[in-house]
Chain A
Amino acid sequence: MTMARPDRRTDIGPPDFRRFLPPVIKANYGAWKYHEILKPGVMVHVGESGDKLFTVRAGSPRLLGTKRIRKYAELADKYCDGFLRFTSRHNVEFLLTKEANIEPLIAELAELGHPVGGIGPAISSIVHTQGWVHCHSAATDASGVVKAVMDDLSEYFDGTRKIPGKLRIALACCLNMCGAVHCSDIAILGVHRRPPRVQHDSLKKVCEIPNVIAACPTGAIRPTRIDGVESVEIDEELCMYCANCFSVCPALPMADALNDGISIWVGGKVSNARHEPTFSKLAIPFIENDPPRWTEVVQSIHRIVEVWADGARPHERMGEFIERIGWPRFFREAGIEFRKEHIDDYRYAGLTYKRSAQLRH
């Protein structure tokens, strides 16, 4: 480790969040009594003191230039004494104490192109990853797919269309899942479909062969020699395209324009409300990449959302709804063909088989 020089600050951590809390929060910290959703994207928190804090939540593209961030700062100065925050789903929230400022703020956000919504029974912004904008392992773009899907679903965000409960969508552009989409009502997941192509010329120079072999969860990678040079070979039948080998060795590229694409998963959630947290399950194994608007992905998700919105009871999340009606009916109503790929074949796959005669005929 390098010695720290006296003029160089390190290991200071982030600035203390308390520096950025508005006075109304400092005065009511830990002493909020209840909240109400006043309209789509607007809520009020009421303190034991009777103080009120209004929140206006707006959708954002996550990828922001400094010009737009400065606009947010301007709006915060104009309407909420400079106080704002972001949410875990990339939304921006303005923290107001003057109720009269809500409508003018919403009008200015609309002019900037930022819809207000995503609170309560609504589709909130899509949590997502970098995609082709900035990632080396992406099997699809992230921002573009999200933009196309949210264009289609924006009426569920801004409250124009009502839905029975929350619906959370997330996108990860490969199985590394920086977006950890595996517990979402709808997960959009970039997938590869062909094994890595071994770059025999460079592999020995850039990678540790034992590490490469150890990286494979199915034991598909074996040592070999090509023209006298040490390298690895891949048993293609054992490869499930997880790309863990590529993560440890750049000489095993996975990306492939012809074979990369998107899978769709449904019915996961993280909240403990009603049913326990659960993973998303496979709905559509593969849809090919179709930039710039990913039409089939958008249409498939639209249909899944509508099946749920039409059939679910109040509060019922996607997974709870499907559990109640059964998977066969879900596949039928969503117009999705059930295929071999839907049946798990990795560790503990048997736990996912139907092990009773409780069926709907």
Chain B
Amino acid sequence: MAGDNGKATPLLDELEKGPWPSFVTQIKEMADEKEQARELLQLLERSYEERIGHWKHGGIVGVMGYGGGVIGRYNDLPEEFPAIAHFHTLRVNMPTGWFYTSDVLRKICDIWDEHGSGLTNMHGSTGDIILLGTTTDELEPTFKALTENDFDLGGSGSDVRTPSACVGPARCEWACYDTLDLCNDLTQTFQDELHRPAFPYKFKFKCSGCPNDCVASIARSDMSIIGTWRDEIRIDQDEVRAYVENGLNIERDVCGNCPTKCMEWDGTTLEIDDSNCVKCMHCINAMPKALRPGTDTGATVLLGAKAPIVQGAQLSSVLIPFIKLEPPYQEIKDLAERIWDFWSENGKNRERVGELVQRVGLGNFLEAIGVEPVPEMIAHPRENPYIFFEEYFEVEEEEAEADGVAEDAQSQGGAS
């Protein structure tokens, strides 16, 4: 255990016991040098005694010209804990895929030792590097030091939040598109939208390279971009047999788990009916040396996931069943901008895109953003018979048409 730094913290000390690495030990390590960490430890001990938090609602603080990236934080006992009276968080946009070198990590540490508490989260749940706690005066100097070292702030508030991506082609044979490049490109393209909140609420992009969805895009992002393929799963039959010889129960654990039962094992050969494969990844996960996604790869784009606040949680739903993703990714950027235009015009305060779609109806939303409805977008067609038809005929008009008089009336009929 690290030193006791003056005052006792008997409750927190209990969290230095046990096999899992302890956040208390981390705060104590920094408390040897940082008054802020010492006071944070004391304030947290107080929360543990009283069973309640001591942080106030955020204030409006930030760096010049940005509307996001800094979370204002003040404690409610500033006289007792003056070193952390202001204890603001900076969200720093991580390198895509969370790749670092030891040198760049040390550089971030140097900056944060000089300007803040020395405490971080690696990483926050959206993916940013979280620099945990500094004063208002230090925000601009921290920002300057970060940008001099090619780092920038991430998103917060009603803006594009820091996009994130799975490890992708850097270290995964299942990546169906370059998640890292797309994520980095979107981040760079939408810097203005990321730093200057102008939307009804937050907007998240998450890029997963395959349907395993390692960055939880379908649960957590307004636009979920999930890699997939539309040709055939690549099979190495010798490796399939090797798995079976090594004890894999292929009928029960692979074929039996296939959601569409599109595969069969006859004792020597695995056959897949790719026309009925829904690209769930199970068989590939179970036999990574034997099976691989096809080579005609791209992504499914889904829209609208969010946590419960406020109309209830949603998973993203299909917007584009299949799209090829190659630089400069213009199609997906244009799509995002059309969605933002409609959302900015029609969204209520704190209404996520997914909630807007629920409110106006997916059909109307698709029309507004210029996307044709296709059956891949639904689990099943409507069950409820209250259909909003958009036009109906008047008897007079039909009679007029029959007489071949009114060209105008005729052209008003039919689908709009």
Cβ contact within 8 Å between A60 and B172: no
Q: A85-B97, A277-B219 are in contact. Are A136 and B56 (CB under 8 A)?
A: yes
Cβ proximity bits A161-178 to B, threshold 8 Å, 1 near / 0 not: 000000000001001111
Residues in B whose Cβ lies below 8 Å from that of A136: 53, 55-58, 73
Q: Is A244 an interface residue (CB 8 A)?
A: yes
Assuming the contacts A273-B280, A347-B312, asked whether A65 and B105 have C-beta atoms less than 8 A apart, the reply is: no
Q: Mark each residue of chain B from 108 to 125: 1 if its CB lies under 8 Å from any CB of chain A, else 0.
A: 110011000011111111
Per-residue contact bits, chain B 92-107, to A (CB 8 Å; 1 contact, 0 not):
0111111111111110
Given the interface pairs A180-B216, A256-B52, the reply to whether A61 lies near B309 with Cβ below 8 Å is no
B66 partner residues in chain A, CB cutoff 8 A: 10
Contact A271 B281 (CB under 8 A): yes
Interface residues on B, range: 35 or more
Q: Which residue of A lies closest to B306 (CB)?
A: A180
Whether a CB of chain B sits under 8 angstroms from the CB of A340 is no
Instruction: Report B127-161 CB contacts with A as 1/0, cut-off 8 Å.
Output: 10000110000000000100111111000000000
Q: Which residue of A lies closest to B87 (CB)?
A: A134
Query: Contacting chain B: which of A12-20, A219-227, A325-333?
Result: A12-20
B99 A16 Cβ-Cβ under 8 A? no
Closest approach, in angstroms, between the C-beta of A81 and any C-beta of chain B?
9
Among listed B185-193, B324-332, B366-374, B388-396, interface-contacting one? B185-193
Near A by CB (< 8 A), chain B positions 371-414 give none
Per-position contact with B for A27-66: 1 when CB-CB < 8 Å, else 0? 0011011111000000001000000010100011111111
Q: Which of A234-288 contact B (CB under 8 A)?
A: 242, 244, 246-248, 250, 255-257, 260, 268, 270-277, 279
A21 contact set on B, CB distance < 8 A: 99, 170
A25 to B172 CA separation, bound complex (whole angstroms): 10
For the complex, count residues of A whose C-beta is within 8 A of B.
Answer: 120
Contact between A55 and B307, CB atoms less than 8 A apart: no
> In the complex, what residues of A have CB within 8 A of residue B109's CB?
66, 69-70, 73
Answer yes or no: B315 CB below 8 A from chain A CBs: yes
B254, closest chain A residue (CB)? A315
Given known A13-B187, A30-B169, contact A60–B21 (CB-CB < 8 A)? yes
Given A14-B151, A36-B288, A292-B48, do A180 and B105 touch, yes or no (CB 8 Å)? no
* A289 CA / B52 CA spacing, docked (Å): 9
- Kindly state the separation between the CA atoms of A83 and B257 in the bound complex, as whole angstroms: 38
Residues A214 and B349 in contact, CB atoms below 8 Å apart:
yes
**Interchain CA distance A51-B270 in the complex, whole Å:** 28
8 A Cβ contacts from B27-53 to A: 27, 29-30, 37, 40, 44, 47-48, 50-53
CB distance from A11 to the nearest CB of B (A): 4
Contacting pair B23 A61 (CB below 8 A) = yes
CA distance A33 to B290 in the complex (A): 10
Residue A2 interfacial (CB < 8 Å)? yes
Residues of A with C-beta under 8 A to B12: 144, 292
A-B contact pairs, 15 of them (CB 8 A): A16-B95, A55-B171, A61-B20, A62-B122, A62-B123, A63-B23, A64-B119, A84-B102, A92-B122, A132-B52, A147-B18, A183-B216, A242-B308, A273-B285, A276-B259
Given contacts A147-B18, A178-B124, A292-B12, 18 further A-B contacts (CB under 8 A): A20-B100, A25-B171, A30-B178, A34-B292, A35-B173, A59-B21, A83-B101, A88-B166, A90-B122, A92-B122, A132-B55, A134-B132, A138-B55, A147-B24, A178-B126, A180-B219, A279-B313, A347-B312
